[in-house]
Structure 1
Amino acid sequence: MSHDEDSCNSSGNRTFAEVVQAASSRRSFLTGTVGLAAATFIAPSLGQTLTLTQNNGLGSRNVGETRLRKGRINFSPVPVSEGSGPMPSISSDYEYQVLIPWGTPLQSGIAEYTGDPNTRPSAADQERMVGVGHDGMHFFPFDGKNKEGILAINHEFGRNSHVLGKSAPEDDEDIRLSQAAHGVAMVHIRRSMQGWKVVVDSPYNRRITPNTPVLFSGPARGTPLLAPESGAKGTVNNCSSGFTPWGTYLTCEENFNGYFGDSQGSWTPTEEQERYGFSPEGFGYGWETHTTDRRFDLGSAEHPNEDNRFGWVVEIDPMAPDQPPVKRTALGRFKHEGVAIVEGKDGRIVAYMGDDQRFDYIYKFVSARNWQEMRAEGLSPLDQGRLYVARFNEDGTGEWLWLTINDPVLAARFNSQAEVLTYARVAADLLGATPMDRPEWTTVAPNGDVYCTLTNNSRREEPNPANPLTPNEDGHIIRWRDKGQHVGKRFTWDIFSIAQDTHAEGDERTFSDPDGLWVDPGGRMFIQTDGGQMKGLNNQMLVCSVYDEGGSQNLDIKRLFTGVTGDEITGLTTTPDRRTMFINTQHPGNGDPLASNFPAEPDGVTIPRDSTIVITRKGGGVVGS
């Protein structure tokens, strides 16, 4: 989204470009503009005994010692020549099914919205059907089964022109419809001989929208920063996601600032509001014009602190549909892209998170104690712990800076730990964190390496020989390894891939703007893109191995899937056996039926609808193999 590329960071902290520029004078680089060749660390040899992480979707947890086997990647990639147009393309070794497009009913008695350009769902119907902006998701199987479970899926955003068929809402019903298209869906799905289908009227089916009651937990709960909490409602701009080893879903609020506006022209922004990008016009949704619910009106005295109630990681139990979502304030408030959970030393939960805005930061949360012990005592491991922000040094090392009120620098600015976490961006500025190029998805590989996509930064001005480019229009993927089995305060880092290095003429591996990211237990890295691709390609999903050596120019990257004109490829989860993968096409055709009618046939005249894509290998097999 274009507003992701704005910058609210005026801290003047040493930029990542400056760090890499300094590092280039001390370290060897590959020919051209490839990443660091003299890597600070190298993936262990495949014969070494490792602590393997077992993944289903995007998280990780340690499950004991085993020998890691490199997963094969042996499929025919989609050629560049076939990766554009109004319909998806997939490897000839694979096939796909379209599932839960926008407007799919979750309850009986509701007609499916099929994209008729002359109509839209009613607000009441939209609250009981699949929304738009399909993004992060996770599959929660029933009893470990591969054929049935709950698909938890985010509905990140829906432009007025797409959802309403008009540029701005005209009344409260329009606003209610727009809000109902946002949030999260819990969808009970089951596989049969005819493919995957929704189990309509399942008690597990539910929609969570900006109007759903929510609770708060952690250090900011019960403080003046969120008061009054009674009657708090909603989650919005739910981007990527994560999941916990105790079986709950984590949905991440990203560009929440864009849903607020100033309808009366009476609002004066605070320093903190400016740092989080609030503006009088927002993104043009017009929710602040609601005549009876003024929560999103920045100038309204009826709803103090409403802006502070968004920007959190939200925990939802898919198996307990009557339990309200809980916003976990210990994980900090910023524009969360996603969260990758791993079990660290002593059984502590570690969460890696990116703040998706140009020149913002990478964060890590470490729980206070062993997560199983905490839960046995009735405590959430996500409520007590330490939040850190990353500083990357020029010598290939880095530090995790603790965001604590006990730090004299932060104590001079804030009055409590709750303030530090609510204004985590400001705290990170003060501690000297490294501004990055739109940190997005994070993932933890089986050997403990952590990866993060940095989508792009077209405003980077200072040249440097390695990373990012000037401007960094195509993005890159960074890699680091923490000391102390993920809980340490220091790490070593290098660059895994620079996207521009794949653009050579005749190079079939080409990709730009990496966004979605997952490394499976076999070391296969799945890269999803969101941005203008080179060589006429639509956005895509590619596969490579994290054990390929030699930098970007030598990565054996294969294109598994390409989307449709104007879309983004995002969201990624699998069944436990990894033989079924779910991904999403978001905003196909940018909502314009002249650009795409997906999932209808290309010659139709229907509004394109965000959809989930179910991917399987012909004849069976792990997806990506």
Structure 2
Amino acid sequence: MIHDNGSSNKSGNRSFEDVLNVRMSRRSTLARGAALSATGFLAALAGNKLFAPGAEAATAQGFSNTVAQGAGTAIAQAGGSQLINFAFLPAAAATGPVPNISSDYQYDVLIPWGTPLQPGGPVYDGNPATRPTAEQQTQQVGIGHDGMWLFPIGTGNDHGILAINHEYGTNQHVLGKEVPASLEDVRLSQHAHGVSVVEIKKTNGKWQVAKSNKSRRIHGNTPVTFSGPAAGSALLKTTAGNAPLGTLNNCSNGKTPWGTYLTCEENFNGYFGATGQWTRSPAQARYGFSAAGAGYGWHLFDPRFDLSNPSYKNEENRFGWVVEIDPMNPAQTPVKRTALGRFKHENAELVIGKSKRAVVYMGDDERFDYIYKFVSDGNWRLMQARGISPLDQGKLYVAKFNDDGTGNWLELTIDNPVLKAKFADQAEVLTYTRLAADALGATRMDRPEWIAAAPNGDIYCTLTNNTQRTAPDAPNPLAPNPFGHIIKWRDRNNHVGLTFKWDIVVLAKDTHSIEKSAFGSPDGLWGDPDGRLFIQTDGNQPTVNGVQLNDQMLVADPNTDEIRRIFSGVTGSEVTGITVTPDRRTMFVNLQHPGDGDPSVTNFPAPQGSGRVPRDSTIVITRKNGGIIGS
């Protein structure tokens, strides 16, 4: 993702730093920093227990209702299973043009940008002189590998459908030029974005693309549809009457218990610009639209992205949603679920709450923006049996963090008197979710990114960084916040309650004194069924023993309270995306924008010195002894 986005939140809402000042002053252990040291990472959680999950909550999710007390057991085990020994050797602090991995693990490369979706299809191998055409790119894996999920075929341990996001690729990386020179250039860029759905299979010990009638590309010009409260709104219709097309800046993801994939649109504003006179509305300003855009130049050749073209008024409102895709049905039209709100979605972590309601936690990845939750109106199975999507009917909330470690979920509906006075209907509330959250006084956060659920019901969120935070009147270790931190909370009433308790898990800067666990800018996050946390980074990393670290993936183990580096990417790349086979003996992660697309920095995955354009790739990680990843 594009690092450290600018802030468009000019509201006067209290920032998280202000709340945190008070909270930290009330926790002497945190103030001293002892509970936030790398070795005290999870011990601090055990000593500051949040709501204990009751039997009702445990039964609803299939988890044990036992919460162990004391250091090293803060995360409850799932289904009574035993935690596997956390014994791998940590990867050394690393930099350079090739990945680095723990000596107990090994990796392989899968589906780099330009891989054909079908064996025998058109290939792009990174040759700077033979870039794909726009048409060829529709038949190839896109660029900007990010969130993904593996949908099993059979056992799924050696065969499945991989749905993978393609967040972004700069013009220089995709086109080999800074500015597009034609509509063909724009189409190539548009077709490199979106999602790939690709069947993969392990053959002769190596994962590779398999021939499939399910594989497809969903890109910037693929037909899509809308559902939910805003679907028929005039705010989603253009004067030209053109049908809705495409999904863009697909960052992280989610998955549903009914077997579908959720892809999340993040920095969609950057693809729009203005060729003529254009007056920016307050709503457009709040979402970061500008006449110049982010440099893509699509508006120069495609009027759909020209903010000054009156025929395409409201086109920009068609982006910024969570999009549901059925990976097993290539004929399905992707659906943008408007009930989940419109903002710069990072991911969509779906859990099953009380009465089997679908609950989706989401972060808005921009400095000083918010954390959200959606709760379906009813039991997801019963809703589906009635032909209703659980993601179409329900309530959206935004989080307010209080000084005393409690919080409130504020209702983002037209029934809220504050919003009823400012918005015409629920469709407008959802289309301009950020403005509605501003009006309710939600807490401004430091770039909320991935949200992950732990087996015991705790919810974790990475707050990547915020270089624009100004110092408060009194000293504050998070002002500015160049390295980010991780928080957690526990909702009352098994995810559906309107109050929660929260706490700080770790400040990234407090890990920098320990070589094996030093990290900054936490981004990707996943909790495995045993309770381990996998932490991926994107952005500012510390210098350790004179080495400026590459972005990396680390594992936190609740048995030993340790964080250990398991994998490092290449110079200029983000480590992101995470999914596993059902047996958890194979893990897939992504390297996004290796070398920032510059072949003089790295040629990965081609041999170094080959002159090839570096290509975003999926990395297949296995333990040399065949064990569970993270053990």
What is the TM-score normalised by the length of structure 2?
0.92
Q: 1:418 to 1:375 in 2, by over 3 A?
A: same
Distance (whole Å) between structure 2 residues aligned to residue 19 and residue 277 of structure 1: 26
Shift of residue 288, structure 1, vs aligned partner? 0.5
Match of residue 438, structure 2, among 413, 416, 429: 429
Question: Are the equivalent residues in 1 in contact too, given 2:351–2:359 (CA < 8 A)?
Answer: yes
Q: 1:29 to 1:464 in 2, by over 3 A?
A: farther
Specify the alignment match of 2:213 in structure 1.
203
Q: 1:334 to 1:469 in 2, by over 3 A?
A: same
Match of residue 85, structure 2, among 72, 92, 95: 72
Specify the alignment match of 1:453 in structure 2.
462
Q: 1:218 to 1:593 in 2, by over 3 A?
A: same
Specify the alignment match of 1:589 in structure 2.
595
Question: Are the equivalent residues in 1 in contact too, given 2:219–2:246 (CA < 8 A)?
Answer: yes
Instruction: Kindly provide the CA deviation profile for residues 553-605 of structure 1, in whole angstroms up to 9, marking residues without a partner as x.
Output: xx411111001011000000011111110000000011000000000112221
Question: Are the equivalent residues in 2 in contact too, given 1:43–1:547 (CA < 8 A)?
Answer: no
- Answer yes or no: is 1:7 the counterpart of 2:32: no
Question: Are the equivalent residues in 1 in contact too, given 2:119–2:209 (CA < 8 A)?
Answer: no
SS of the counterpart of 1:258?
Answer: helix
Specify the alignment match of 2:516 in structure 1.
508
Q: 1:391 to 1:42 in 2, by over 3 A?
A: closer
The range that moved more, 111-120 or 521-530, is: 111-120
SS of the counterpart of 1:409?
Answer: helix
Aligned positions of 1:288-307 closer than 5 A: 288-290=299-301, 293-307=302-316
Specify the alignment match of 1:175 in structure 2.
186
SS of the counterpart of 1:427?
Answer: helix
Specify the alignment match of 1:570 in structure 2.
576
Shift of residue 533, structure 1, vs aligned partner? 1.3
Question: Are the equivalent residues in 1 in contact too, given 2:407–2:502 (CA < 8 A)?
Answer: yes
Where does structure 1 lack aligned partners over 5 or more consecutive residues?
A: 56-63, 549-554
SS of the counterpart of 1:338?
Answer: coil
Specify the alignment match of 2:267 in structure 1.
255
SS of the counterpart of 2:348?
Answer: strand
Aligned positions of 1:33-182 closer than 5 A: 33=33, 40-41=48-49, 50=58, 66-67=79-80, 69-80=82-93, 83-108=94-119, 110-182=121-193
- Answer yes or no: is 1:218 the counterpart of 2:228: yes
Instruction: Kindly provide the CA deviation profile for residues 301-331 of structure 1, in whole angstroms up to 9, marking residues without a partner as x.
Output: 1212101000000000001101110000000
Distance (whole Å) between structure 2 residues aligned to residue 409 and residue 43 of structure 1: 30
Specify the alignment match of 1:524 in structure 2.
532
Distance (whole Å) between structure 1 residues aligned to residue 476 and residue 115 of structure 2: 43
Specify the alignment match of 2:27 in structure 1.
27
Question: Are the equivalent residues in 2 in contact too, given 1:513–1:530 (CA < 8 A)?
Answer: yes
Shift of residue 43, structure 1, vs aligned partner? 8.9
Q: 1:370 to 1:224 in 2, by over 3 A?
A: same
Aligned positions of 1:436-585 closer than 5 A: 436-463=445-472, 469-504=478-513, 507-535=515-543, 536-546=548-558, 555-585=561-591
Specify the alignment match of 1:331 in structure 2.
340
Question: Are the equivalent residues in 1 in contact too, given 2:78–2:531 (CA < 8 A)?
Answer: no
Q: 1:279 to 1:144 in 2, by over 3 A?
A: same
Q: 1:44 to 1:468 in 2, by over 3 A?
A: farther
Shift of residue 2, structure 1, vs aligned partner? 4.6
Question: Are the equivalent residues in 1 in contact too, given 2:78–2:455 (CA < 8 A)?
Answer: no
Q: 1:445 is aligned with what amino acid?
A: A
Distance (whole Å) between structure 2 residues aligned to residue 487 and residue 467 of structure 1: 33
Q: 2:610 is aligned with what amino acid?
A: G
Specify the alignment match of 1:240 in structure 2.
252
Question: Are the equivalent residues in 1 in contact too, given 2:482–2:540 (CA < 8 A)?
Answer: no
Instruction: Kindly provide the CA deviation profile for residues 143-162 of structure 1, in whole angstroms up to 9, marking residues without a partner as x.
Output: 34311110000000000000
Q: 1:3 to 1:272 in 2, by over 3 A?
A: farther
Q: 1:478 is aligned with what amino acid?
A: I
SS of the counterpart of 1:111?
Answer: coil
Instruction: Kindly provide the CA deviation profile for residues 65-112 of structure 1, in whole angstroms up to 9, marking residues without a partner as x.
Output: 8325334321001112xx211100111111111000000011355332
Q: 1:2 to 1:125 in 2, by over 3 A?
A: closer
Q: 1:542 is aligned with what amino acid?
A: L
Distance (whole Å) between structure 1 residues aligned to residue 180 and residue 127 of structure 2: 19
SS of the counterpart of 1:594?
Answer: coil
Distance (whole Å) between structure 2 residues aligned to residue 188 and residue 336 of structure 1: 26
Q: 1:199 is aligned with what amino acid?
A: A
Specify the alignment match of 1:59 in structure 2.
none
Q: 1:24 is aligned with what amino acid?
A: M
Question: Are the equivalent residues in 1 in contact too, given 2:60–2:356 (CA < 8 A)?
Answer: no
Q: 2:522 is aligned with what amino acid?
A: P
Distance (whole Å) between structure 1 residues aligned to residue 441 and residue 31 of structure 2: 32
Where does structure 2 lack aligned partners over 5 or more consecutive residues?
A: 37-43, 64-76
Distance (whole Å) between structure 2 residues aligned to residue 51 and residue 520 of structure 1: 19
Question: Are the equivalent residues in 2 in contact too, given 1:570–1:585 (CA < 8 A)?
Answer: yes
Shift of residue 407, structure 1, vs aligned partner? 1.2
Distance (whole Å) between structure 1 residues aligned to residue 48 and residue 419 of structure 2: 31
Shift of residue 27, structure 1, vs aligned partner? 2.8
Distance (whole Å) between structure 1 residues aligned to residue 228 and residue 630 of structure 2: 39
Shift of residue 465, structure 1, vs aligned partner? 8.4
Question: Are the equivalent residues in 1 in contact too, given 2:13–2:438 (CA < 8 A)?
Answer: yes
Q: 2:468 is aligned with what amino acid?
A: R
Distance (whole Å) between structure 1 residues aligned to residue 528 and residue 275 of structure 2: 47
Shift of residue 469, structure 1, vs aligned partner? 1.1
Shift of residue 516, structure 1, vs aligned partner? 0.1
The range that moved more, 297-306 or 443-452, is: 297-306
Shift of residue 41, structure 1, vs aligned partner? 2.3
The range that moved more, 519-528 or 100-109, is: 100-109
Distance (whole Å) between structure 1 residues aligned to residue 60 and residue 464 of structure 2: 28
Specify the alignment match of 1:276 in structure 2.
287
Question: Are the equivalent residues in 1 in contact too, given 2:78–2:530 (CA < 8 A)?
Answer: no
Distance (whole Å) between structure 2 residues aligned to residue 382 and residue 547 of structure 1: 36
Q: 2:87 is aligned with what amino acid?
A: N
Distance (whole Å) between structure 2 residues aligned to residue 472 and residue 124 of structure 1: 43
Question: Are the equivalent residues in 2 in contact too, given 1:17–1:468 (CA < 8 A)?
Answer: no
Q: 1:558 to 1:54 in 2, by over 3 A?
A: farther
Question: Are the equivalent residues in 1 in contact too, given 2:50–2:489 (CA < 8 A)?
Answer: no
- Answer yes or no: is 1:609 the counterpart of 2:615: yes
Q: 1:191 to 1:438 in 2, by over 3 A?
A: same
Shift of residue 53, structure 1, vs aligned partner? 5.4
Instruction: Kindly provide the CA deviation profile for residues 452-487 of structure 1, in whole angstroms up to 9, marking residues without a partner as x.
Output: 000000111134989761110000000000000000
Match of residue 353, structure 2, among 340, 344, 357: 344
Alignment coverage as a number of residue pairs:
603
Question: Are the equivalent residues in 2 in contact too, given 1:337–1:355 (CA < 8 A)?
Answer: yes
Instruction: Kindly provide the CA deviation profile for residues 471-517 of structure 1, in whole angstroms up to 9, marking residues without a partner as x.
Output: 1000000000000000000000000111000112x532100000000
How many percent of aligned residue pairs carry the same amino acid? Answer: 59
Q: 1:366 to 1:277 in 2, by over 3 A?
A: same
Q: 1:419 to 1:430 in 2, by over 3 A?
A: same
